[in-house]
Amino acid sequence: MRPAFRNDAYAKVTGGAKYTDDYTLPRMLHAVPLHAQTASALIKSIDCSLALQSPGVLRVILAEDIPGTIKFGQIIKDYPTLAHKRICSTGDVLALVVAESRAQALAALPLIKVQLEEIPPIFDPEQAMLPTAELINPDYGSNVCNYHRVRNGDIQRGEADSDFIIEQDFSTSRIEHAYLEPESALADLRPDGVMEVIGSMQHPFSTRRFVASTLGFELSDVEVKTVPIGGAFGGKDDTAALVCARAALCAYLLKRPVKLTYSREMSLRESYKRHPYKLQYRMGVGKDGSITFVKVRMVADGGAYCSVTPWVTWRSTVQCCGCYEVPNVHCDVYGVYTNNVFSGAFRGFGSPQVNFAIEQLVEIAAQKLGLDEISFRRKNMVRQGSTTITNQVLDTHKVSLQEVMDKVLKEIDYEAKRAKCSFGDPKQDKWYGIGFAISYRGMSLGAEGVDFNSAIINVQPDGSVLLETGIHENGQGSESAMILIAAEELGLPVERIRYRMPSTSNIPDGGTTVASRGTLLGGGATTNAAKILKGIIAETLLKEYDLSAERFENGQILTPDGQTICTWEKAIALCYSKQIYPYAFGVFQAPRVSWDEETGHGNAYFTWVYGCQAVELEVDPKTLKVTLLNLVAAHDVGKAINPAMVKGQFYGGLAMGAGYGLFEELPLADGGVIATNLHQYRLMRATDLPEMTAIIVENPDPTSPSKAKGIGEPTLEITAPAIANAIFRATGKRYVDQPLKLRL
Amino acid sequence: MIIVNGHKHKIPEALLDKKLSEWLREDLYLTGVKIGCEIGVCGSCTILVDNLTRRSCKMLVKDAVGHEITTIEGLSGEDGTLHPLQQAFMDAGAIQCGFCTPGMVLSALALLLQNHHPTRSEIRQALKGNICRCTGYQQIVDAVERAARIMYPDPK
């Protein structure tokens, strides 16, 4: 395997990499937030007079001080920069204290006196959906934030055609992203009137919109720059953007640089979580082993603010039957407002919940039919040319579901080992189990929104290259992937390509770095930019030498039959001498997708990925402690640009998915997060995990200019059901609530 | 006096009760000391005190007086040459967001100074106090194994 390549590794391994909180500016002030102590109330008054007398305090900022718009949001503008008149969640921020030092700002927090009038809160989504329920967001007019559905085939006929019908409810919990670096932002109003912001956020363009809306600025008057961030996993979108907007608000009002760094407690309290779901499935099967229908109702607790709940639940809708062909489908999915801490984007984005249910349901069905879990899946899984439950024909790429499944089952030696499973045998002092799960996943945003990205390649007179794209480095290694793609296209060593510190003022809005779309969209734009650049160089060389430049290899430019025309440096120098800029702007526009909200039909995603994961584990019959023994995963990535980093995504996803399955949950009390720090939120540690095997499957994707697809999310969306299936074969019991809490 | 990365620091009275992590970050600009939880659970602020791992967020400056501290900044040479452990982290693909990396490297170094040929399970045990949310630890364990082979090529 190629050695790992990361353009930021040296800085990160020497401690030189500077994250937001590592920056200090002259005359910099510090801000801290005052959080609500209750989930639902009217704000009667906020008295800041005592806090203002506290040493070092310069100002206490309230919603009334916001020059722009108080509320903003990516879909529904319901998320307040500072709570105004009403509190909807314990994550609400009522005031910002700005002081000379952070300690001084923190010391003044308890001196702010808040008078409230409590409103009865609603914490149960089913209760919130009742027509008689009080509205949590009266401006929106309903507690049902969104509703999606699929109607396909004839559900009555499906019922009639069934030999067995399985009904099963599942539930999944609220979990924390637990990125290692809590939110932080540093804002400075420049002399030219531009508000400059760096922050621990994953979406510079989304952040720019939040900042501009709060300040009442034009987008061009806000510049968001990228610095290293300590993890995101989907979690540094709305909240992180709002932390940036608050720092900018302080900097705007005080005309000094302001840093706003969250403690872990603040981060846990305020940031959005993975949506907890209740899923009610009814599945019919025929004696021939085919699925005859699926009827499902899902309710997702969106919490107090919309965030991206409509998009998360849309993915659950499209993928509600897992990776299987189902002729008759009736699916209803609701995203619901409650007074709980809100839910938003989290790696997986509506698929981990659905896969947790469906990948157990198919095994329950197989068992009912007396079939094994492999043949049942083989019979019903999507194949080349299959039609999905939303009427999309899978024919634009290689459908490799069977390939990834076979590779995993072979690697782990599944069929031999399943004979050894304990099924709760009272005679055994250790229960052994093996299990697996499979999935397909629509790539990128799909019909959630417009999907395009750009890249700039700017070759300097000495032949060195500046590259940037509209994709953000969240820690996954996106910059390195883009450098590798450009290096291969241009035939240059990676050392000659510098990824330029990205800024929202220098490259067009490329959308958010989510949905495993970084390598696919940014890589596509990079490939296209490189092709344009090569065209510019080739045209210049043709005029000069009357030779057709086609091959760019090892720093040389060659004719189609391998004749060297000149070196890269000479070609670039020639361009400059002829008044030609070796500069290219490349765009990748994702192929069109479609969606009909009424029927739930459409080509939901322009391409799909396929994955399989298997697990071996042991359960102690006395303590019911689960020990993971082995994890194996195969995912089709189209093309592995940076294999070591692709594997890193596998391992990291498996670990996160295993934590989701075994113990991660974030309980609330009265709508607020109980955990005050990481001692109350268990995360996978090095000793909790077994050795893992990553099998990279490459079927180059014709719809992707770089041939690569995404890998960030597929890797964690099936680990939990694979573990549930293994626990079933170890203990003989099905656990349908995540996390899997074993009971005697 | 505290020695940090080979440099001697005289400690004024007023600083004795400051958090060690804050002193290192704010006064010495050693921002490789990362803050993830401030209660000693995540391991991001790990430093070496006399070659043993300590959580700098759980210490006061006075606790370190008379001792020798190593932070991640003290590992590479003055000319930027990497310590074999740092090189191994890069080569093994053990770095993603990088926030756990300084603490992780220092915990690994403390292990290797004591145990030149650790097993993978001993490596996992030594890194148990350092949370990584990105990598699943696999390539970090690979990196420590790789570094051990380079630092101590002689067999057991």
Under the banding of pLDDT at 50, 70 and 90, the label for residue A448 is: confident
CB A492 within 8 A of CB A572: no
Q: Distance between CA A9 and CA B95 in Å, rounded?
A: 7
Mean pLDDT of A586-594: 95
Under the banding of pLDDT at 50, 70 and 90, the label for residue A314 is: very high
Query: Across-strand partners of A565?
Result: none
Please check whether residues B62 and B93 belong to one and the same domain: no
Q: Is A127 helix (H, G, I), strand (E, B) or coil?
A: helix
Q: Distance between CA A97 and CA A106 in Å, rounded?
A: 8
User: What is the distance in angstroms between the Cα of B21 and the nearest Cα belonging to chain A?
Assistant: 13
Q: Which of A19, A182, A651 sits opposite B135 (nearest CB)?
A: A651
Q: Which long-range contacts (CB under 8 A, 24 or more apart) does A127-130 make?
A: A128/A336, A128/A337, A128/A338, A129/A299, A129/A334, A129/A336
CB A465 within 8 A of CB A459: yes
User: Could you tell me which of B77, B148, B144 has the C-alpha nearest to residue A14?
Assistant: B77
Selected residues 140-179 of chain A with any CB under 8 Å from a CB in chain B: 177-179
Burial label, A727 (beta-carbon count in 10 A; 0-12, 13-18, 19+): buried
> Which amino acid is it at A250?
C
Specify the CATH number for the domain of residue B31.
3.10.20.30
Interface predicted TM-score (ipTM) of this complex, two decimals: 0.98
Kindly state the tokens that stand for A11: 């800085």
Q: Is A78 helix (H, G, I), strand (E, B) or coil?
A: coil
Q: Distance between CA A341 and CA A174 in Å, rounded?
A: 10
Please check whether residues B69 and B89 belong to one and the same domain: no
Please check whether residues B147 and B117 belong to one and the same domain: yes
Residue finishing a domain among B51, B74, B97: B74
Whether A652 has its CB under 8 Å from any CB of chain B: the answer is yes
Best B96, B120, B123, B125 residue to mutate vs chain A (most A CBs within 10 Å): B96
Alpha helices (runs of H) in A216-348, residue ranges in sequence order: 238-254, 264-270, 309-318
Rounded-to-5 percentages of helix, strand, coil across chain B? 40, 10, 45
Q: How many CB atoms lie within 10 A of CB A120?
A: 7
Kindly state the tokens that stand for A133: 């329920």
Mean pLDDT of A230-234: 97
pLDDT at A633 over 90: yes
Cα–Cα separations (whole angstroms), residue A394 to A70, A441, A616, A711, B150: 44, 12, 32, 19, 49
Q: What are phi and psi of A286, to 5 degrees?
A: -100, 160
Strand residues in A131-194 grouped as ranges (E): 144-152, 164-171, 184-189
Q: Distance between CA A604 and CA A5 in Å, rounded?
A: 34
Helix B138-151 with A643-662: angle, nearest 10 deg: 130
Please check whether residues B127 and B68 belong to one and the same domain: no
Whether A37 has its CB under 8 Å from any CB of chain B: the answer is no
Best B134, B139, B141, B142 residue to mutate vs chain A (most A CBs within 10 Å): B134
Q: Is A406 helix (H, G, I), strand (E, B) or coil?
A: helix
Strand A258-261 relative to strand A626-636, pairing = unpaired
Residue A531 belongs to what H/E stretch?
Answer: helix A523-545
Q: Is A358 helix (H, G, I), strand (E, B) or coil?
A: helix
Interchain pair A648, B124: CB under 8 A = no
Alpha helices (runs of H) in A220-350, residue ranges in sequence order: 238-254, 264-270, 309-318
In a domain, B44, yes or no: yes
CB B94 within 8 A of CB B135: yes
Interchain pair A17, B98: CB under 8 A = yes
Best A24, A100, A180 residue to mutate vs chain B (most B CBs within 10 Å): A180
Q: Give contacts of B89 with chain A, Cβ < 8 Å.
A: 9, 13
Exposure of A8 in the CB half-sphere (CA atoms within 13 A): 29
CB A322 within 8 A of CB A717: no
pLDDT at A688 over 60: yes
Interchain pair B137, A656: CB under 8 A = no
The total number of structural domains in chain B stands at 2
pLDDT at A1 over 60: no
| Residue-level length of chain A | 744
A579 Cβ contact partners less than 8 Å away, ≥ 6 residues apart: none
* Residue found under tokens 């626990």: A727
A90 Cβ contact partners less than 8 Å away, ≥ 6 residues apart: A35, A36, A37, A38, A39, A269, A341, A670, A671, A672, A673
pLDDT at A450 over 90: no
Q: Give contacts of A679 with chain B, Cβ < 8 Å.
A: 37, 39, 41
Q: First CA to last CA across chain B, in angstroms? A: 38
Q: Distance between CA A571 and CA A30 in Å, rounded?
A: 51
CB A616 within 8 A of CB A413: no
Torsion region of A350: left, alpha or beta (phi above 0 gives left; psi -120 to 50 gives alpha)? left
Please check whether residues B98 and B146 belong to one and the same domain: yes
Specify the CATH number for the domain of residue B127.
1.10.150.120
Helix A719-731 with A351-369: angle, nearest 10 deg: 30
Whether A655 has its CB under 8 Å from any CB of chain B: the answer is yes
pLDDT at A2 over 70: no
Q: Distance between CA A555 and CA A41 in Å, rounded?
A: 66
Please check whether residues B10 and B70 belong to one and the same domain: yes
Please check whether residues B127 and B147 belong to one and the same domain: yes
Q: Distance between CA A492 and CA A362 in Å, rounded?
A: 49
Residue finishing a domain among B23, B45, B74: B74
Indicate yes or no: pTM above 0.90: yes
Q: Using alpha carbons only, how large is chain B's radius of gyration in Å?
A: 15
In a domain, B41, yes or no: yes
Cis check for the bond before B102: say yes or no (omega within 30 of 0). Answer: no
User: What is the distance in angstroms between the Cα of A233 and the nearest Cα belonging to chain B?
Assistant: 9
Q: Rounded mean pLDDT of chain A?
A: 97
A427 Cβ contact partners less than 8 Å away, ≥ 6 residues apart: none
Please check whether residues B110 and B142 belong to one and the same domain: yes
Q: Give contacts of B132 with chain A, Cβ < 8 Å.
A: 180, 686
User: What is the distance in angstroms between the Cα of B9 and the nearest Cα belonging to chain A?
Assistant: 20
Residue A627 belongs to what H/E stretch?
Answer: strand A626-636
Burial label, A573 (beta-carbon count in 10 A; 0-12, 13-18, 19+): middle
Interchain pair B95, A685: CB under 8 A = no
In a domain, B45, yes or no: yes
Q: Using alpha carbons only, how large is chain A's radius of gyration in Å?
A: 27
Q: Which of A228, A232, A687 sits opposite B124 (nearest CB)?
A: A687
In a domain, B156, yes or no: no
> Which amino acid is it at A372?
D
Kindly state the tokens that stand for A475: 């820690």
pLDDT at A563 over 60: yes
In a domain, B79, yes or no: no
Q: What is the pLDDT of residues A45-91, one digit of tens each?
A: 999 999 999 999 999 999 999 999 999 999 999 999 999 999 999 99
Residue A61 belongs to what H/E stretch?
Answer: strand A57-61
* Residue found under tokens 């001692």: A679
Please give the residue range of the domain that contains residue B137: 84-151
Kindly state the tokens that stand for A188: 């400075």
Selected residues 221-240 of chain A with any CB under 8 Å from a CB in chain B: 228-233
Whether A103 has its CB under 8 Å from any CB of chain B: the answer is no
CB A292 within 8 A of CB A285: yes
Q: Give contacts of A21 with chain B, Cβ < 8 Å.
A: 31, 35
Cα A235 off chain centre by:
7
Q: Give contacts of A654 with chain B, Cβ < 8 Å.
A: 136
User: What is the distance in angstroms between the Cα of B65 and the nearest Cα belonging to chain A?
Assistant: 23
> Which amino acid is it at A452?
F
Q: Distance between CA B10 and CA B2 in Å, rounded?
A: 7
Selected residues 677-736 of chain A with any CB under 8 Å from a CB in chain B: 677-679, 683-687, 689, 691-692
Which domains are delineated in chain A?
Answer: 23-120+197-258 (3.90.1170.50), 277-446+596-666+680-731 (3.30.365.10), 452-589 (3.30.365.10)
pLDDT of residue B156: 58
DSSP A393: B
- Chain B residue with CA closest to A15: the answer is B32
Q: What is the pLDDT of residues A116-129, one digit of tens each?
A: 999 999 999 999 99
Whether A481 has its CB under 8 Å from any CB of chain B: the answer is no
Residue B86 belongs to what H/E stretch?
Answer: helix B84-91
Cα–Cα separations (whole angstroms), residue B123 to A123, B88, B144: 44, 14, 7
Q: Is B15 helix (H, G, I), strand (E, B) or coil?
A: helix
Interchain pair B89, A9: CB under 8 A = yes
Please check whether residues B60 and B11 belong to one and the same domain: yes
Q: Is A546 helix (H, G, I), strand (E, B) or coil?
A: coil
CB B50 within 8 A of CB B67: yes
Please check whether residues B122 and B66 belong to one and the same domain: no
Q: Give contacts of A691 with chain B, Cβ < 8 Å.
A: 120, 138
DSSP A522: I
From A315-329, A452-466, A511-525, the region with the lowest mean pLDDT: A511-525
Burial label, A654 (beta-carbon count in 10 A; 0-12, 13-18, 19+): buried
User: Could you tell me which of A11, A276, A335 has the C-alpha nearest to residue A146?
Assistant: A335
Cα–Cα separations (whole angstroms), residue A719 to A193, A656, A660, B58, B97: 49, 8, 8, 35, 22
CB A211 within 8 A of CB A68: no
User: Could you tell me which of A245, A441, A252 has the C-alpha nearest to residue A349?
Assistant: A441
pLDDT at A640 over 60: yes
Residue finishing a domain among B74, B106, B122: B74
DSSP A218: -
Best A7, A10, A12 residue to mutate vs chain B (most B CBs within 10 Å): A12
User: What is the distance in angstroms between the Cα of A21 and the nearest Cα belonging to chain B?
Assistant: 9
Q: Distance between CA B57 and CA B45 in Å, rounded?
A: 6
Interchain pair B36, A230: CB under 8 A = yes
User: What is the distance in angstroms between the Cα of B120 and the nearest Cα belonging to chain A?
Assistant: 9
Exposure of A239 in the CB half-sphere (CA atoms within 13 A): 30
Q: Give contacts of A648 with chain B, Cβ < 8 Å.
A: 93, 96, 134-136, 139
Give the count of Cβ contacts less than 8 A between chain A and B: 183
Please check whether residues B15 and B41 belong to one and the same domain: yes
Please check whether residues B15 and B70 belong to one and the same domain: yes
